[in-house]
Amino acid sequence: MRILIACFASALLSSLFTVWLTSDQTPSAVLAQSESEPDALPGSVFGGKSPFVDTNPRREQRPITENSAFRMTTEEAVNVAVYEKVNKSVVNITTQMQAGGGLFFRGLSAEGAGSGMVIDQSGHILTNFHVIEDANRIEVNLFDGSSYEATLIGADPVNDIAIIKISADADVLHPVTLGDSSQLKVGMKVFTIGNPFGLERTMTTGIISSLNRTLQVRENRTIKSIIQIDAAVNPGNSGGPLLDTQGNLIGVNTAIASKNGQNAGVGFAIPANLVARVVPQLLQFGRVIRPEIGIQHVYETDAGLLIETMTPDGPAEAAGLRGPEVVRQRRGPFVVERIDRSVADLIIGVDGQKVETVDDFLGYIETKKPGDKVVLEILRGSETLKVTIELTGAAASPRGTLP
């Protein structure tokens, strides 16, 4: 009997000692990491009819509902199948950027980390712009441990989207499959795969908590139709995929709402349909070609948007819109100039929709393309007018200005 008691005590102590060792082996350095139409390309997701589809015929395509010999529940089988389908598409992105200048900081560099995903077998990687912003060096680590230096192909800071490229063999590039974010419903199950705190290809699950949120990522600019999720998203997850139960890409994880920088159950993702509109332009032009209306700056007022400046000979000016006038008055030997804004047009609507903010106006204009026509409803004095303007093309505008 004494022998049995001694064996039991020895086994218990051994077990407790093992747990303590395992929990103590988590490197603090890891937890301290922070996030920081061209010609058809070979395997390009935008050069064919099926965006984000893996074109390698040798790779086995397993059904998403496949069960295993371990008698998993249906829910577990879906979780496993989603991970097995997509985890090789997810990459770990590390960046280096030059630290601030000055005598004592010269030559120092800062590091950042984030996630991304393969979108074609030509080596294009989709991620957030803020993950690679200001980086001097971008390194991409694939599922097999191989590492490649990446180059920036194009970026859309307004929508926090960027495309980088690596030179890797097609056999190690597993593109994600593009889904349709317009079909999402609150309550649907979702998955994220990313590299939180540098822990590569970590999957979390949750549901869609809300749809059509807005998220400000740049001064005076917000992304619309943002997906809100409760799946755990932490520093390092930015740029990783948000997936449905079929393993299709429905969003790109971009931000969290948190008081301490850690997951609080409120995460945000850029919808896949927005990504599908932006990425082809980034691949072709390196930037987004936004429609140009020829209004450079407006003031937000309680009555509408007051035109401040317009592009000379631009679409708005050509259509007859009016801005402020410069009034010159002679006072003795001097000529004094003043700006008379009372004569400027006040924009109150576009195509029958009321606009109250710059973001309302920009958001609607950016759903159009160069060559489209829009009808502005304006107040000119006490008179309400409708003016038709044909949009032209322009590159992404500087911050704080209109396209």
Active site positions, annotated: 130, 160, 238
Task: Please tell me the distance from the alpha carbon of residue 260 to that of residue 250, in angstroms, as a whole number.
Answer: 27
Q: Are the CB atoms for 378 and 345 separated by under 8 Å?
A: yes
Task: Please tell me the distance from the alpha carbon of residue 314 to that of residue 381, in angstroms, as a whole number.
Answer: 23
Of 198, 201, 269, 259, the C-alpha closest to 231 is 269
Q: Are the CB atoms for 52 and 155 separated by under 8 Å?
A: no
Task: Please tell me the distance from the alpha carbon of residue 297 to that of residue 401, in angstroms, as a whole number.
Answer: 6
Task: Please tell me the distance from the alpha carbon of residue 170 to that of residue 172, in angstroms, as a whole number.
Answer: 5
Give the count of beta carbons closer than 10 Å to the beta carbon of residue 11.
Answer: 10
Of 56, 70, 64, the C-alpha closest to 85 is 64
Using DSSP bridges, classify how beta strands 177-178 and 248-256 pair: parallel, antiparallel or unpaired: parallel
